[in-house]
Structure 1
Amino acid sequence: MAPVPSSTRQWLPYTAAVTAGLLVIAGTFVFVRQRDAGADRPRADCATRLDVNSSTEKAALLVELAERYNSGDRSLDGGGCAQVHVSALNSGQAAETLAAGWSGTGLPEPQVWLPTSSLWTGQLQLLDQAAGRTPQTPGQYPPIANSPLVIAMPQPKGELVRQKGPLGWGQILGLSGRTGWTAFGKPEWGRFTFGKDNPNLSTSGLAATIATYYAAANRSSDLTRSDLADPKVTQFVRRIEANVSHYSDDSVELLRDLAEADLAGGGASTGDMSAIVMQEELVHLYNEGGLSPRQEGQVRGSRPKVPLVAVHPKEGTFNLDHPFVVLPSADERQRAAADDFLKFLTEDAQQASFARLGFRDHKRGASAELLASVGTEPTGGLDYFAPPNPAVVKAMLGGWSTLRKKANILIALDTSGSMEAPIGDSTRFQVAAAAATKGLKLLNSEDRVGLWSFSSETKKRLKSPYQEEVRLGDFDQNRINSRIAGLHVAGETALYATVRAAHRQLLDRYDPDRINAVVVLTDGKNEYPRDNDLARLLADVTLDPDRPVKVFCIAFDGESDFATLDRIAKASSGKAFDARNPAMIDEAFVKLVSSF
């Protein structure tokens, strides 16, 4: 059994379909995991090397399968054999890298590409066409596995929804709104909100957005750009996006937190979230303990006490098809090797390995074990939406930025004296300020944003350890950048007092139609004796499902108390981003801002 990967989407698309803001820092920090298979035991007659680049969520399994292939007795047509080497890169970044001639990753140029979805072969077509090149991925490609998009809910909620009979995307995710579970006879469960990956950073997030548009247009194929502009369609999509709790850069990490809370608290708790839109494969992994905390040497942790149930909307869903793409860079012998490796991957033994991770087979068939784990599918099987034209996907992403749920964000920036410490030719503060400036470019112009600085009382801040620099209101990036540039660095780190006060202000100015969040950027730990009670702070910021205010933290230096920041974030159902390696701060900011 292949080990469960640490993350399904460490870093994703910077393609023509990505918003202009993301392009500002495209390619600066790209998480790459390379794993070679079979290099230590080559057969003497294996003169053909086949380089395969896989999407990250199945890379560990592909390494195992490549080793199995390399150690076997397979022969190619015409004689000889091949050695397969596997590297990994997120699908969207791989598409961009292929369009750029495959440079800058440090990975071998592939002859076979295994993205998560054919959506990326379409986006690569657009990139090649824009550059005046012959498209590298002009056709349709056979899948090696499949995973449909589902709405995952804790079992009691999912079973109740199923009892209502076939329901659509809008009925499940968009119609309940503030009335919440009252519409299902459970007012004590509160509001209905759900989690979703940002479609600019996640294949499943992109697929969820496509599925929503299909449901809105009442189509299962041939979605057009005119459909996207239909007021009824945009209203439908906006209504669904309004119920998003917050966006995620990686639903795997969200599920890890959920599993930890389930095992610690005696049952699943999604905080203010009633559901998560994600790949069916991840529901299986979660239910089997693959995303639970585990002891050293364990492949899987304990199964959660309350499993998730996969709910299938009646209009249909989108399938992630994991295509096997042979690229033009393959020579004749490599094409023969690719053909043989594809045959190998679709044989029963290898398909069983995919099934154990929660994938459906290459013909979309689900194993009995998978259905027992995630819940039975509708009578007659699932209906699937056809992939839209790549140009429609690009237009969809462009329109999503205006339809997504807007945010109410208060940024607290550490200005303690330790921020003067050097990082290369800059100070910690300069690095943090530069990252904040870049990250702010990714926010929506309709977001509301405020800025505080904090340290402790200083000569320039006599009465309080924190100070309002820009009042929470309409987003004025130039003003915020100007205030950051003029901040004075001095004092100690009044972390707890600042988080508590900022959280209280967001509660006082809570907007039920927005994502309400405190963002804390710090290089240290609490150094403020007047407020040193962590237990009280955790109680103060604990999520109120009726008025959720989440705390997001970035720890960007080795002296940062990341463990405490993580506890604070989790108490509020937010997230802490570890950028203690200063080179990771830009990436952390992109992931952070993608939550809004």
Structure 2
Amino acid sequence: MRPSKKQIVLAVLVVGLGTFAGLKYHADHSNKEQIAAVTPPRPGCDTVTVAAATEMAPLLTKIADTYNHSARTVNGKCFGIKIDAVDSADAEAQLVAGWDVRRGDAPDVWAPASSSWLAIFGDDAAEADRSTALVPSSASSIASTALTIAMPKPMATALGWPKAPIGWSELAALAGNPAGWGSKGHPEWGAFTFVKANPNYSTSGLNATIAAFNAGAGSPTPLSSGSVASITARRLDASLEQAVVNYGDDPTAFLRTQQRADTEGKPLSYASAYAVDEKAVLDYDAGNPSGDPKTAGTHAKPRVPLVAIYPTEGTLFSDNPYAVLNAPWSTRDREAGAKDFFDYVVLPAQQKVLTDAGFRGPTKKPGAGIVASPNVSAAGPTVTLSTPSGSTIAALRSAWGLLRKPARVLLMMDVSSSMGDSTAENGPTKLEQAKSAALSALDEFNGADEVGLWQYSSALPPGAQTYQELVPVGHFDIDKSQITAAISTLTPKNDSTLIPAVRAATSQLTEDVEPGHINAVVLLNNAKNNFAADNDQAGLVAALQRSTSGVQIYSIAYGSGADKPALQSYSDVTKGQLYDATDTSTAAEAFTSAFASF
């Protein structure tokens, strides 16, 4: 089953989902540079800490730098602003559990991507018997961006874009049509496919799920627990879920995969549609899918742009609320400084920083970037949906857990001798830490999923194999105890057999591909291949590239000895993802992020 809210909160406390001391461990660990909040406090001034959503943090850091070099004061006192980049879901869970100062300064302000997270906090805090007064139930917006259905332009045009109305219902019908794109005159495009992020972790994934349920319910009024339970609402969302290629906790990872496909001359090969924010469409079309100003201009614009569809039944805005916390660790003075920084952010000069980056203003007024782009609409959506209550969002997430596309996953654990090395002086071994991390993330799966377990290294029984099947891929609800027991008893031994093990795993899954499932390998690696009888890395990558099975590889580069280039190549050619856990203390988050793709 999917983790409960309390399990998610506990995971944040125990395994450390992210690092809040300025550097943010991002959910997708490809080549994206970590975001650093490096603005120093003003000398002689009190420091106000803002925990900001990762897509907003670089821009707020830029604005904070100008604030910190200004002469602004409040009642004769000055303040320095420090921005920490924190995923909205991570921050929400941490605030419910009680902020662990060992992982960074407790914030005076929380600036999540959407007010949905304020509602989620209220519900989670009440359920956990925590004070709901810490986070206000509403807060003023500093910028906004609409959820869109982004499509490669030729595919959108085939549906009648930009003139024809297109909504969730049309996409659900196309997803359920056996003829797929053939019903629109393009059989060469195959089935309609969809990519959205996991609503337990992603704002865009949550907004897409809310909007799809609203469309199914047939009303733009705020969702209730009753409408979430509606058969018609669930039927529409289920049609969309079955078209999903993969989930995940980072929408920009999808766009980086789309960018690779475009660069390779196959822009229509990954997915037909993406549930991402309007700003993300602008970032992608500028050649910068991460949206980080530091990477702007480092990649050419795509050959085939994405265009934004604003669903006719309605969509939601991520309103980027600025919530000054009623926190016992804060002070009245810092609260005043926090409010002064808000007043500064909403001034025209600072708003231009945000709108130039693709955000709309707090009132949803478009900036120059939106107005100039032919691929988004300055007018925005015709119907704007409201954020449901926290309890309704909880019901929605539970419903999504039942409707999401099931997965067929093979977990591969590296047990080569280097896994016996200690992670730190007097610390656990790498394998002990990896085992704990994998076990902590297993509840991402539910009874509809099929999961198996292999270990790999040289000279494994029977017959000195390069891998050993410990639990065949089977129903997770039946086999979970076997998988848990098998992981717990893993021991380090012999040499790494990365290449032959990956070859064997993908071959087996390809033979047994389960239609209607996400078929994938989750690969933990700590050491380069050291098996002379099969060291053909290029041949393996070529074989993976030729495969049409759809088996994806989600690689975890674990420790400094991991073969990151090889792992990156496996994930790239199979349209999976690479998660960087070379800092072994981040293994639990890497496993959670990988398993959240299903």
Scaled by the length of structure 1, what TM-score is found? 0.88
After the TM superposition, which parts of structure 1 deviate over 6 Å for at least 4 consecutive aligned residues?
A: 292-298
Equivalent position SS for 1:291: coil
* Residue number among 250, 262, 283 corresponding to 2:281 in the alignment: 283
Query: 1:497-544: per-residue Cα shift (whole Å, max 9, x none)?
Result: 221221122121111211001222221112222222222211222275
Q: Does 1:220 pair with 2:206?
A: no
Query: Aligned equivalents of 1:49 and 1:487: distance in 2?
Result: 47
Query: Aligned equivalents of 1:422 and 1:80: distance in 2?
Result: 49
Query: Aligned equivalents of 2:53 and 2:117: distance in 1?
Result: 11
- Contact 1:199/1:205 (CA < 8 Å) preserved in 2? yes
Query: Aligned equivalents of 1:23 and 1:233: distance in 2?
Result: 29
- Contact 1:116/1:323 (CA < 8 Å) preserved in 2? yes
Query: Aligned equivalents of 1:338 and 1:223: distance in 2?
Result: 33
Q: What is residue 176 of structure 1 aligned with on the other side? A: 175
Q: What is residue 141 of structure 1 aligned with on the other side? A: 139
Q: CA deviation at 1:241?
A: 0.8
Q: CA deviation at 1:342?
A: 2.6
Q: Does 1:492 pair with 2:495?
A: yes
User: In structure 2, do the counterparts of structure 1 residues 201 and 349 end up closer, same or farther at CA, with 3 Å as the change threshold?
Assistant: same
Residue correspondence of structure 1 range 467-546 to structure 2 within 5 A? 467-475=468-476, 476-487=479-490, 489-542=492-545, 544=547
Which stretch shows the higher mean deviation, 406-415 or 67-76? 67-76
Q: What is residue 166 of structure 1 aligned with on the other side? A: 165
Query: 1:389-421: per-residue Cα shift (whole Å, max 9, x none)?
Result: 111011111222111111011222223333333
Amino acid at match of 2:86: L
Scaled by the length of structure 2, what TM-score is found? 0.88
- Contact 1:22/1:442 (CA < 8 Å) preserved in 2? no
Query: 1:323-342: per-residue Cα shift (whole Å, max 9, x none)?
Result: 12223346655555444433
Query: 1:55-79: per-residue Cα shift (whole Å, max 9, x none)?
Result: 2211121121122123234454x55
Query: Aligned equivalents of 2:593 and 2:292: distance in 1?
Result: 25
Query: 1:114-167: per-residue Cα shift (whole Å, max 9, x none)?
Result: 211111111222244342635234443221100111111222222323438112
Q: What is residue 348 of structure 2 aligned with on the other side? A: 348
Q: CA deviation at 1:222?
A: 2.7
Q: CA deviation at 1:48?
A: 6.1
Residue correspondence of structure 1 range 159-558 to structure 2 within 5 A? 159-163=157-161, 165-173=164-172, 175-177=174-176, 178-263=178-263, 265-266=264-265, 268=267, 271-291=269-289, 300-329=298-327, 333-373=333-373, 375-377=375-377, 381-424=381-424, 425-458=427-460, 460-462=461-463, 464-475=465-476, 476-487=479-490, 489-542=492-545, 544=547, 547-558=549-560
Q: Does 1:592 pair with 2:591?
A: no
Q: What is residue 7 of structure 1 aligned with on the other side? A: none
Q: Does 1:578 pair with 2:566?
A: no
Amino acid at match of 2:70: G
- Contact 2:194/2:240 (CA < 8 Å) preserved in 1? no
Query: Aligned equivalents of 2:9 and 2:447: distance in 1?
Result: 17
Query: Aligned equivalents of 1:52 and 1:295: distance in 2?
Result: 19
- Contact 1:318/1:386 (CA < 8 Å) preserved in 2? yes
Which stretch shows the higher mean deviation, 534-543 or 389-398? 534-543
Query: Aligned equivalents of 2:411 and 2:472: distance in 1?
Result: 10
User: In structure 2, do the counterparts of structure 1 residues 354 and 584 end up closer, same or farther at CA, with 3 Å as the change threshold?
Assistant: same
User: In structure 2, do the counterparts of structure 1 residues 132 and 562 end up closer, same or farther at CA, with 3 Å as the change threshold?
Assistant: closer
Amino acid at match of 2:384: Y
Query: Aligned equivalents of 1:102 and 1:467: distance in 2?
Result: 42
Q: Does 1:569 pair with 2:585?
A: no
Equivalent position SS for 1:434: helix
Amino acid at match of 1:522: N
User: In structure 2, do the counterparts of structure 1 residues 296 and 527 end up closer, same or farther at CA, with 3 Å as the change threshold?
Assistant: farther
Which stretch shows the higher mean deviation, 464-473 or 233-242? 464-473
Which stretch shows the higher mean deviation, 365-374 or 556-565? 365-374
User: In structure 2, do the counterparts of structure 1 residues 582 and 350 end up closer, same or farther at CA, with 3 Å as the change threshold?
Assistant: same
Query: Aligned equivalents of 2:235 and 2:494: distance in 1?
Result: 49
Q: What is residue 25 of structure 2 aligned with on the other side? A: none
Q: CA deviation at 1:268?
A: 3.2
Amino acid at match of 1:572: T
User: In structure 2, do the counterparts of structure 1 residues 174 and 25 end up closer, same or farther at CA, with 3 Å as the change threshold?
Assistant: farther
Query: Aligned equivalents of 1:294 and 1:229: distance in 2?
Result: 39
Q: CA deviation at 1:469?
A: 2.1
Query: Aligned equivalents of 2:130 and 2:539: distance in 1?
Result: 61
Query: 1:201-247: per-residue Cα shift (whole Å, max 9, x none)?
Result: 11221111111111111122231111111222222221111111011
Equivalent position SS for 1:342: helix
User: In structure 2, do the counterparts of structure 1 residues 141 and 487 end up closer, same or farther at CA, with 3 Å as the change threshold?
Assistant: closer
Query: 1:77-98: per-residue Cα shift (whole Å, max 9, x none)?
Result: x555544333332223323333
Query: Aligned equivalents of 2:586 and 2:317: distance in 1?
Result: 33
User: In structure 2, do the counterparts of structure 1 residues 25 and 242 end up closer, same or farther at CA, with 3 Å as the change threshold?
Assistant: same
- Contact 1:312/1:378 (CA < 8 Å) preserved in 2? no
Which stretch shows the higher mean deviation, 273-282 or 449-458? 449-458
User: In structure 2, do the counterparts of structure 1 residues 74 and 490 end up closer, same or farther at CA, with 3 Å as the change threshold?
Assistant: closer
* Residue number among 87, 93, 96 corresponding to 1:90 in the alignment: 87
Amino acid at match of 2:149: I
Equivalent position SS for 2:246: strand
Equivalent position SS for 2:507: helix
- Contact 1:284/1:374 (CA < 8 Å) preserved in 2? no
Equivalent position SS for 1:588: helix
State the Cα RMSD in Å: 2.9
Amino acid at match of 1:532: N
Equivalent position SS for 1:491: coil
Q: CA deviation at 1:580?
A: 2.0
- Contact 2:146/2:380 (CA < 8 Å) preserved in 1? no
Equivalent position SS for 2:539: helix
Equivalent position SS for 1:246: coil
Percent sequence identity over matched residues? 32
Equivalent position SS for 2:206: helix
Amino acid at match of 2:386: A
- Contact 1:287/1:374 (CA < 8 Å) preserved in 2? no
Equivalent position SS for 1:86: strand
Q: Does 1:119 pair with 2:107?
A: no
User: In structure 2, do the counterparts of structure 1 residues 280 and 298 end up closer, same or farther at CA, with 3 Å as the change threshold?
Assistant: closer
Query: Aligned equivalents of 2:3 and 2:480: distance in 1?
Result: 24
Amino acid at match of 1:95: E
- Contact 2:242/2:405 (CA < 8 Å) preserved in 1? yes
Equivalent position SS for 1:363: coil
Query: Aligned equivalents of 2:421 and 2:540: distance in 1?
Result: 28
Equivalent position SS for 1:585: helix
- Contact 2:357/2:369 (CA < 8 Å) preserved in 1? no
Query: 1:174-195: per-residue Cα shift (whole Å, max 9, x none)?
Result: 5334532112211101121121
Amino acid at match of 1:464: Q
Query: Aligned equivalents of 2:289 and 2:376: distance in 1?
Result: 22
Q: CA deviation at 1:198?
A: 1.0
Query: Aligned equivalents of 2:40 and 2:525: distance in 1?
Result: 44
Q: CA deviation at 1:272?
A: 3.4
Gaps of 5+ in 2: 23-36
User: In structure 2, do the counterparts of structure 1 residues 215 and 296 end up closer, same or farther at CA, with 3 Å as the change threshold?
Assistant: closer
Q: CA deviation at 1:299?
A: 5.8
Q: CA deviation at 1:317?
A: 0.6
Equivalent position SS for 2:453: strand
Q: Does 1:26 pair with 2:12?
A: yes
Query: Aligned equivalents of 1:343 and 1:116: distance in 2?
Result: 19
